[in-house]
Structure 1
Amino acid sequence: MANNEKKKGLKLYGAPWYVTIIACLLILSAMFSGALGTDMPSTFALMLAIGIPLNEIGKRLPIWNKYIGGGILLAFIGTSVIGTYNLIPETYTSSIDNFTSEINFLSFYIVVLITGSVLSLERKVLVKSFAGYFPAILGGLVGAMLLAILGGLFFGITPGEAITHYTLPIMGGGNGGGAIPLSEVYAGITGEGSEVYYSFAIIILTVGNIFAIFGAALLNKLGDAFPKLTGDGKTLIRGAEENDLADEDYTPSLGDVAAGLLIALGAYTVGLLFSNVLLPEIFGFPIHELAYMVIFVVILCALGVVPLNVRMGAKRLQSFFTKHLTLLIMVGVGVDLDLNELLAAVTLPNIVVALFIIIGAVVGSGLVGYLVGFYPIDTAVTAGLCMANRGGSGDLAVLGAANRMGLMAYAQLSSRLGGAIILVIASVLFSILL
């Protein structure tokens, strides 16, 4: 009797299990029959119908659920398998990709998470955490370079090549903000075609991205085993959890949530204004709108000009997105991962050197983070692995695998401003080492 009651009480994605299963089957049936459209509601429905089963399987799969990454990571990998091997009609994989990138639900998700995570911090904690963050980024970069040189020695790769061709692409902030501009800097300094550098940079970046995602899942498990090494997933500073805005201080209304959304979209607009019109470049290097947005939201929080009810509304909205829409994001970024491209990059030197770089980024950023008063695991995830992934989509995959979506603002600083720092460093190192 008790078992029957337990089965009746089982819920999937917030609904009774049979309701969720029937809904997913109906959506998938509509897709395979061609009745499902490619508009936003149809695509939204399909992403849930794919993501929910994968997530539930991943949460229950032995070994995978405890040691590899659980449901969120299986949703990411499973969707990449579906997309790579055309297990559903290409029309629908294209609609998922378009919804994530062209319609840009990806950026909308990031905008909400940045605003909620920053505005939920007290001003003193905010200032301290961002002041110590860039030393942690540099610590991760130095660690990655040192271990890249060490790994390269096993394969006859020179220290200069280990840094310029392996470390910089992986730590450069992704493809659009990293590998592509890096290849242009390379071409300008060496006189060779940019494609010479880019063709290898994108390969090693892809390998590093996968290691970063799995590394995040392992760090999450390490945090479970050693709680003193990690915080609450919202701030980096050790012992600062009590300074977070507590839910019991104020219960936000739906109007407060709407106001939080307005602040988020307004801050993003300011980022666009600076990135496209007012100050698109600093010292000749482009600054991404999300980097400007982070800076603007940090200033708003530091000045204390956003009322408590709006801050709590932004936090409540972020909480909803983190708990219930992360699954959509993992499906969206997963369908964009071409496993054939990844398999083509699987050579022993690439694997070993990329793995050494990821380990160096984790150790370097975590160590410096600890020295400046941060939790080493949270710092390693954001200042280390979010520097070593594939930009915005990589940030989401890494934070999802690490179960730390509340650290999105720091992750974006790594990918956006950290990527710009890499471009500056690359322009010097290319001249010296090539």
Structure 2
Amino acid sequence: MALWWKLMDLRLGIVPVPVAVIIAGLVAAFVSLGQVPADLPMGIAVLALGGFACAEIGERIPGLRTLGLPAILATFLPSWLVYAGWLPKPLTEAVGRFTDQSNILYLFIASIIVGSILGLDRRVLIQGFLKIIVPIAAGSLAALAVGCAVGVALGLGFSHTLFKIVVPIMAGGVGEGAIPLSVGYAQLSHMPQGGYFAEVLPSVMFGSLTAIVLAGGLNFLGKRAPQLTGEGRLQPGEVDAPLSGAAPAGGKLSDVRTIGAALVMVVTLYLLGALTQKLWDWPGPVVMLGLAVAIKLGRIASPALEAGAYANYRFFRANVTYPLLFAIGAAKTPWEKLIAAFTVPTLATIVATVATLVGTGFAVARLVGLYPIEAAIVNACHSGQGGTGDVAILTAANRMQLMPFAQIATRIAGAITVTLALIAFARFGP
């Protein structure tokens, strides 16, 4: 019995190895029947096994695991497996339906945002939000200049480089960036939207991949030069008992009912954001972020609820991140679109743009009292694939608590980028 217990305690991430074998057998049986359910139980089983198996491979490659390889493999390996036909079609269709219908991505982001904000030191919360604007703005301008210069030097042309490569990288992902850009380009030029979308999507996806790799490198740098990082804290003096791992006020850990209450509060804030987006077209995640900040500053949530929200944050961070990345890779990341960017001039331009964005954030951080590595990681999210990119980038950097600031870089800075780009395209575009 002791031997069997040892075997049950041997895990792929959080999945016991014997359970993983059973899940694989069950999935094979459902695939053979051609009827893979797209419900919650099957989604949990498939994504947990797939996500943690990919992450485990990345964790066991010496030297590369600190560069974000687990997050990279959890995202892009399933994308390649779908492209190569190694993941059966009934399985990938079920994963896609589950991902879309369950809205698991937004539940994850909501839990991370609310939990991390309610755990921040309110004395420096507003300072952090105001200060992070400086490296984001400086990085955007520098990336625009360098990216266009590299593209022109490599023969891509200024207009193509600006509107098809550099702007899409910083536009906020696919749904909030690539799609509005392509629709705007099509309306202004009276050309088909599909053609523009196919042109800008590879830049969004490979820019996000570049940001993931750089975020992993920044995490590695932080371990070698601890004076450059707050280990997830954006600025010096940011003190937070829950996020540092200590018990909340009163010395007691959250009970399960309090965690449940905090989860209901998180879902309510998400739904408020979703409603404002439908009524007034305000970005739902940004509204949710603002509400969470107001709750923290106004002391609306009790210390127990704040601790419960933090416990919920920890649960999602530890147990849902890699399964979610697997779902994103299998259902939301078409491999053929990614490899479409594999020309030397385009790749060089994308890498130069993202590296400049990240490097500028690193360089100017000290000027406004931020840790260079954290500021650079937030800037990396400005070149991410929307919310999915934020998750992958912050996972690679092992700094998921920066999600509120990442949302500023992705949503707000991305919306500003799209708006200015369409204005410029109307006047100077082809």
TM-score scaled by structure 1?
0.89
Residues 166 and 354, structure 1, Cα contact 8 Å, conserved in 2: yes
- Note closer, same or farther for the CA distance 1:407–1:220 as it changes in structure 2 (3 Å cut): same
Residue 204 of structure 1 is matched in structure 2 by 203
| Partner SS, residue 247 of structure 2 | helix
| Partner SS, residue 286 of structure 2 | helix
User: C-alpha offsets along residues 158-209 of structure 1, whole Å, 9 cap, x if unaligned?
Assistant: 4454333321111000112112212233344445444453331112222212
- Counterpart amino acid of 1:83? V
User: C-alpha offsets along residues 119-172 of structure 1, whole Å, 9 cap, x if unaligned?
Assistant: 101211111111112222212211211210231233134445433332111100
- Note closer, same or farther for the CA distance 1:243–1:126 as it changes in structure 2 (3 Å cut): farther
- Mapped partners of 2:423, 2:392: distance in 1: 31
Q: Does residue 1:248 correspond to 2:241, yes or no?
A: no
- Mapped partners of 2:241, 2:39: distance in 1: 43
Residue 269 of structure 1 is matched in structure 2 by 271
Residue 43 of structure 2 is matched in structure 1 by 43
- Mapped partners of 1:325, 1:15: distance in 2: 10
Q: Does residue 1:289 correspond to 2:284, yes or no?
A: yes
Residues 206 and 338, structure 2, Cα contact 8 Å, conserved in 1: yes
Residue 141 of structure 2 is matched in structure 1 by 142
- Note closer, same or farther for the CA distance 1:165–1:15 as it changes in structure 2 (3 Å cut): closer
- Mapped partners of 1:186, 1:370: distance in 2: 38
Residue 338 of structure 2 is matched in structure 1 by 342
Residues 212 and 398, structure 1, Cα contact 8 Å, conserved in 2: yes
- Mapped partners of 1:341, 1:70: distance in 2: 21
When the two chains are superposed, the root-mean-square deviation of aligned CA atoms in Å is: 2.6
- Counterpart amino acid of 1:271? G
Structure 2 matches for 1:69-88, cutoff 5 A? 69-88=68-87
- Note closer, same or farther for the CA distance 1:22–1:431 as it changes in structure 2 (3 Å cut): closer
Residues 8 and 16, structure 1, Cα contact 8 Å, conserved in 2: no
Residue 52 of structure 2 is matched in structure 1 by 52
Residue 181 of structure 1 is matched in structure 2 by 180
* Structure 1 residue 377 displacement after superposition: 1.5
- Mapped partners of 2:131, 2:401: distance in 1: 18
- Counterpart amino acid of 1:56? E
Residues 173 and 419, structure 1, Cα contact 8 Å, conserved in 2: yes
Structure 2 matches for 1:300-339, cutoff 5 A? 300-335=295-330, 336-339=332-335
Residues 59 and 65, structure 1, Cα contact 8 Å, conserved in 2: yes
Q: Does residue 1:371 correspond to 2:370, yes or no?
A: no
Using the TM superposition, name which of 158-167 and 405-414 deviates more: 158-167
Using the TM superposition, name which of 288-297 and 413-422 deviates more: 413-422
* Structure 1 residue 411 displacement after superposition: 1.6
* Structure 1 residue 33 displacement after superposition: 3.9
User: C-alpha offsets along residues 23-63 of structure 1, whole Å, 9 cap, x if unaligned?
Assistant: 44444443454475332201211112222322222211234
Residues 31 and 91, structure 2, Cα contact 8 Å, conserved in 1: no
* Structure 1 residue 387 displacement after superposition: 1.3
* Structure 1 residue 380 displacement after superposition: 1.6
- Note closer, same or farther for the CA distance 1:19–1:141 as it changes in structure 2 (3 Å cut): same
- Note closer, same or farther for the CA distance 1:222–1:24 as it changes in structure 2 (3 Å cut): farther
* Structure 1 residue 422 displacement after superposition: 0.9
Residues 269 and 291, structure 2, Cα contact 8 Å, conserved in 1: yes
| Partner SS, residue 414 of structure 1 | helix
Paired residue total = 421
- Mapped partners of 2:226, 2:8: distance in 1: 31
- Mapped partners of 1:92, 1:16: distance in 2: 19
- Mapped partners of 2:343, 2:10: distance in 1: 43
| Partner SS, residue 305 of structure 1 | coil
Using the TM superposition, name which of 33-42 and 7-16 deviates more: 7-16
- Counterpart amino acid of 1:331? F
- Note closer, same or farther for the CA distance 1:406–1:416 as it changes in structure 2 (3 Å cut): same
Residues 260 and 313, structure 1, Cα contact 8 Å, conserved in 2: yes
- Mapped partners of 2:128, 2:314: distance in 1: 21
Structure 2 matches for 1:55-70, cutoff 5 A? 55-66=55-66, 68-70=67-69
- Mapped partners of 2:193, 2:36: distance in 1: 42
Residues 213 and 397, structure 1, Cα contact 8 Å, conserved in 2: yes
- Mapped partners of 1:217, 1:207: distance in 2: 15
- Mapped partners of 2:17, 2:179: distance in 1: 47
- Counterpart amino acid of 1:273? L
Gaps in structure 1 of 5+ consecutive residues: 281-286
| Partner SS, residue 91 of structure 1 | helix
Residues 242 and 248, structure 2, Cα contact 8 Å, conserved in 1: no
Residue 222 of structure 1 is matched in structure 2 by 221
Residue 353 of structure 1 is matched in structure 2 by 349
- Mapped partners of 2:30, 2:72: distance in 1: 24
Residue 389 of structure 2 is matched in structure 1 by 394
- Mapped partners of 2:412, 2:65: distance in 1: 34
- Mapped partners of 2:287, 2:119: distance in 1: 19
Using the TM superposition, name which of 209-218 and 192-201 deviates more: 192-201
Gaps in structure 2 of 5+ consecutive residues: none
Residues 14 and 319, structure 2, Cα contact 8 Å, conserved in 1: no
- Note closer, same or farther for the CA distance 1:432–1:342 as it changes in structure 2 (3 Å cut): same
- Counterpart amino acid of 1:304? R
User: C-alpha offsets along residues 39-97 of structure 1, whole Å, 9 cap, x if unaligned?
Assistant: 2201211112222322222211234324x424333222222222222213211111112
Residue 425 of structure 2 is matched in structure 1 by 430
Residues 122 and 244, structure 1, Cα contact 8 Å, conserved in 2: no
Residue 259 of structure 2 is matched in structure 1 by 257
* Structure 1 residue 307 displacement after superposition: 0.9
- Mapped partners of 2:262, 2:194: distance in 1: 43
- Note closer, same or farther for the CA distance 1:409–1:27 as it changes in structure 2 (3 Å cut): farther
Q: Does residue 1:405 correspond to 2:400, yes or no?
A: yes
- Mapped partners of 1:25, 1:80: distance in 2: 19
